[in-house]
Amino acid sequence: MRRATLLRYAVLGGLLLFVAWFGVWQVWVVLAPAWGALWAGVLAGLALLGLGIIAVAGAIVIRTRDRLDRAAGTAIDERPGESQE
């Protein structure tokens, strides 16, 4: 696996952690006292479903980009003046 692909997965992982913390857990923590644990859990579950969609779509985009880069013979992590020959 190329360094650029690993970096993309790292960025996706950071995004998923951010959304999981603020979009799922904190939604439940804030809304549980006001709406009750059940309805806050339902809303957090919907947010978790959205997080799963983001994860799957992100992985598909990363895999597709890696395959297109390999097919084109370009390497994003190449520095100018260097080649991988």
Q: Taking all residues of the chain, what is their mean pLDDT, rounded to a whole number?
A: 87
> Is position 80 within any domain?
no
Domain of residue 51, residue span: 3-72
Tally of domains in the chain? 1
- pLDDT band of residue 78 (cuts 50, 70, 90) is low
> Is position 19 within any domain?
yes
> Is position 54 within any domain?
yes
Q: How far is CA 27 from CA 43, 47, 82, in A?
A: 8, 9, 48
Per-residue pLDDT tens digits for 29-54 = 999 999 999 999 999 999 999 999 99
> Is position 44 within any domain?
yes
> Is position 62 within any domain?
yes
> Is position 83 within any domain?
no
Position 17 scores a pLDDT of 95
Position 13 scores a pLDDT of 95
Position 3 scores a pLDDT of 87
> Is position 78 within any domain?
no
> Is position 79 within any domain?
no
Distance CA 56, CA 19 (A): 14
